[in-house]
């Protein structure tokens, strides 16, 4: 062996260890070489005959056998007097095909997880695991793990597969459950031990190793998946979402234990979907999953990947769709993860002004690099197809779209047109959306985008970003500002509740009351409200009734459905004891929970509340300027024209004989929901009898009705 090659091999900096190790024709026969540091002896076995190899130093063993061709063979390696017969990893051809390498190089491998990472398989008739990793700047890569006692010097050198930047090695005898990392020799000769970016299973944090895995899960949701493909567009269907932080929903439960409780609870409440805060592996629980290190691995805190599949399956069988928070905006700087993965900026942008995220101390992805874009696009596809996820809520989209996001002048560089738009991020989001929608009919993507970027939910073919829905952050902030005010002051801020209708049809919206609004000193939803305990609950009930009637889909974070008074904490989750019948105020909390149940039930039945969410013809104000009365009244219309009348009264007074203009073609109206009902903890000021219009004009309509408006309440009526 050439001295230079030998030095590079021993230092972990050789690009082609297979050219040195294994069996190779030489004058006089076949040379067998093995690198086995700490071995006492190595022998080669051919046709049952053992031949000892010479120890040539530094763990290298070599010998020439007088053979005409390379035979099938095994190695016998002796450690501390104990012999082990093993297959030689360096006798195997590459286990990754040319098409895979071509697609990786082009950034077009939509099933990247099938090509990169660790895959148990049978190769050339031998069981083992194929390890592959993208590290184009590395001088050399070794795979290391419990099979070599985590000694990097005894790790197995991988081969470079040309210009693709991919390194590959088939390790015979290594199977599922094996822990591993990649020992990478950087361009400057230093070494770094890294978790697999494509790992599909990890150790439980704070441990950081990757784990070889394969799925044996058998799905039982074929009916759900088939129906999803045929389902109407999401913006024309019922869509109410219960947001969940799995580790703290009921603290200590595993995925499989959650599968026994969560589907039943959510189905009873009547939500159509759950939205899971990030499930992908993350080192710090306090990040709630928003700083991801294992983009392809469900967090091991709650169980295995197949355990997570079981949870999704159980939700589907209960008729509940599963959305998942997805975080392609940034990643943490942990030195065992993605940051400068192979010694140079790789997943992050090489320009420090575009790499460092100014708000979170993290790094932003280089969306302009095709392999990085492929890593993320394939990741979105992976969660859809491997875990049957029904939708992705994409976090922090605004931070991706703008080069100057949270940056001062001089801290960012404009794009090629002189603008502040991150054109690479725009192209990535368009590609991601187009890809997942093409491959997964019935799927939905949702943007958490806090600016007025034009076309977030417009089709990519029309120049939009291609999302299905967008969080309406403006509605959320304005409406919460309004309801937190004392009723006596609300008339001066009436427009905070009506302004959303100015832009309600600019995008396809979700109305979110998310985890972000009930943490870090913002108080829980009920605690934001003014007044005494009765008024606080009444305000919450009125607000939820307004929210469910407003154009757009609904999202409510766990704990708010029963008026939890404390802020959410990931350490202990919702205060379930508030629903314990032994607790004196249990009825107060259960009343709000019962309202949420009924809101969802009536919402599903009344197509006027969801069928024309994105069509201006589905909404009409009755009165939008009754500021002195704190009253908002509007009509929602189904596709067939059937109306629903929603009135919200944000004053603690009772208003008798309140006149509202209505269409003159409805003979009578019937109250179908009243948030002041005694059942919900209200004062039971109802309109129990059908209300007939009178030929008295009001609010620019030829007919009108007179209602009793309960204090701090929302009332829904439909044609009797």
**Residues tagged active-site:** 395, 448
In whole angstroms, give the CA distance from residue 212 to residue 178: 5
CB atoms inside a 10 Å sphere around CB 18: 19
- Run of H or E including 714: strand 713-719
Residue 297 in 3-state DSSP?
Answer: strand
Among 717, 715, 693, residue whose Cα is nearest residue 705: 693
Strands 469-471 and 509-513: parallel
Contact 37, 21 (CB under 8 A): no
In three state form, how does the secondary structure of 157-193 look? Answer: ECEECHHHCEEEEEEECCCCCCEEEEEEECCCCCEEE
Closest Cα to residue 348, out of 376, 326, 378? 376
CA distance 679 to 677: 5
How many Å separate Cα 697 from the centre of its chain?
Answer: 51
Nearest-angstrom CA–CA distance, 493 and 501: 15
Q: Which two tokens stand for residue 616?
A: 């201006």
Q: Phi then psi for 183, rounded to 5 degrees? A: -95, 105
For residue 311, the surrounding DSSP H or E stretch is helix 305-317
Please identify which residue in the block is written with the tokens 């009873």: 268
With 0-12 CB in 10 A as exposed, 13-18 as middle and 19+ as buried, what is 143?
buried
CB 432 within 8 A of CB 384: no
What is the C-alpha to C-alpha distance for residues 650 and 630, in angstroms, rounded to an integer?
5
In the chain, what is the greatest distance between 2 CA atoms, to the nearest angstrom? 111
User: Is the preceding peptide bond at 311 cis, omega within 30 degrees of 0?
Assistant: no
**156: nearest Cα among 535, 371, 146, 166:** 146
Per the DSSP assignment, residues forming a β-bridge with 32 are: 23, 63
């Amino acid at each position: 062996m050439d001295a230079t090659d030998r030095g590079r091999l021993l230092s972990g900096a050789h690009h082609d260890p297979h050219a040195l190790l294994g069996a190779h024709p030489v004058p006089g026969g076949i040379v067998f070489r093995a690198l086995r540091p700490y071995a006492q002896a190595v022998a080669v076995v051919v046709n049952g005959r053992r031949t000892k190899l010479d120890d040539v130093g530094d763990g290298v063993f070599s010998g020439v056998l007088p053979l005409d061709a390379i035979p099938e063979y095994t190695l016998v390696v002796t450690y501390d007097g104990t012999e082990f017969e093993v297959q030689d990893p360096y006798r195997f051809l590459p286990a990754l095909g040319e098409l895979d390498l071509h697609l990786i190089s082009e950034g077009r491998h939509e099933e990247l997880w099938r090509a990169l990472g660790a895959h148990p398989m049978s190769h050339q008739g031998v069981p083992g695991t194929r390890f592959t990793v993208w590290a184009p700047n590395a001088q050399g890569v070794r795979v290391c793990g419990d099979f070599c006692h985590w000694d990097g010097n005894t790790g197995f050198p991988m081969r470079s597969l040309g210009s693709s930047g991919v390194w590959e090695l088939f390790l015979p005898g290594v199977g599922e459950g094996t822990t591993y990392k990649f020992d990478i020799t950087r361009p400057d000769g230093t070494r770094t031990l890294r978790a697999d970016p494509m790992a599909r299973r990890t150790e439980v944090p704070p441990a950081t190793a990757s784990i070889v895995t394969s799925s044996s899960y058998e799905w039982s949701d074929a009916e759900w998946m088939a129906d999803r493909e045929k389902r109407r567009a999401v913006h024309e269907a019922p869509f109410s979402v219960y947001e969940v932080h799995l580790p703290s929903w009921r603290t200590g439960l595993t995925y499989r234990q959650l599968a026994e409780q969560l589907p039943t609870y959510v189905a009873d409440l009547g939500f159509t979907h759950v939205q899971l805060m990030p499930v992908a592996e993350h080192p710090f629980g306090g990040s709630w999953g928003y700083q991801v290190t294992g983009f392809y691995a469900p967090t091991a805190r709650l169980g295995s990947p197949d355990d997570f599949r079981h949870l999704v399956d159980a939700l589907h069988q209960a008729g509940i769709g599963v959305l998942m928070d997805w975080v392609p905006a940034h990643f943490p700087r942990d030195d065992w993860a993605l940051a400068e993965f192979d010694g140079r900026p790789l997943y992050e942008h090489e320009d420090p002004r575009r790499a460092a995220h100014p708000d979170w101390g993290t790094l932003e992805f280089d969306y302009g690099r095709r392999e990085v874009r492929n890593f993320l696009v394939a990741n979105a596809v992976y969660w859809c197809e491997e875990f049957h996820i029904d939708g992705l809520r994409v976090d922090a989209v605004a931070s991706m779209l703008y080069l100057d996001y949270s940056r001062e002048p001089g801290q960012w560089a404009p794009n090629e047109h002189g603008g502040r738009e991150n054109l690479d991020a725009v192209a990535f989001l368009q590609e991601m959306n187009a890809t997942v929608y093409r491959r997964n009919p019935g799927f939905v993507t949702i943007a958490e985008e806090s600016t007025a970027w034009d076309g977030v939910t417009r089709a990519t073919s029309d120049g939009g970003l291609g999302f299905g829905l967008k969080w309406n952050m403006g509605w959320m902030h304005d409406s919460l500002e309004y309801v937190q005010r004392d009723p006596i002051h609300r008339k001066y801020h009436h427009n905070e509740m009506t302004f959303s209708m100015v832009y309600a049809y600019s995008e396809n919206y979700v109305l979110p009351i998310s985890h972000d609004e009930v943490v870090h000193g913002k108080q829980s939803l009920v605690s934001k409200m003014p007044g005494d305990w009765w008024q606080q609950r009444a305000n919450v009930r009125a607000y939820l009734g307004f929210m469910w009637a407003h154009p757009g889909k609904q999202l409510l974070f766990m704990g708010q459905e029963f008026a939890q008074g404390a802020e959410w904490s990931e350490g202990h989750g919702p205060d379930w004891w508030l629903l314990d019948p032994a607790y004196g105020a249990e009825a107060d909390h259960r009343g709000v929970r019962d309202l949420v149940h009924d809101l969802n039930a009536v919402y599903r039945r009344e197509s006027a509340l969801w069928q024309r969410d994105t069509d201006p013809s589905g909404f009409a104000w009755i009165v939008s300027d009754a500021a002195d009365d704190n009253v908002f009244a509007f009509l929602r219309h189904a596709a067939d024209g059937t109306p629903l009348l929603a009135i919200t009264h944000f004053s603690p007074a009772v208003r008798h004989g309140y006149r509202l203009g209505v269409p003159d073609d409805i003979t009578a109206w019937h109250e179908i929901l009243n948030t002041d009902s005694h059942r919900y903890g209200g004062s039971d000021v109802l309109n129990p009898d059908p209300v007939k219009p009178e030929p008295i004009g009001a609010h620019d309509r030829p007919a009108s009705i007179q209602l009793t408006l309960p204090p701090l309440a929302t009332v829904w009526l439909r044609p009797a």
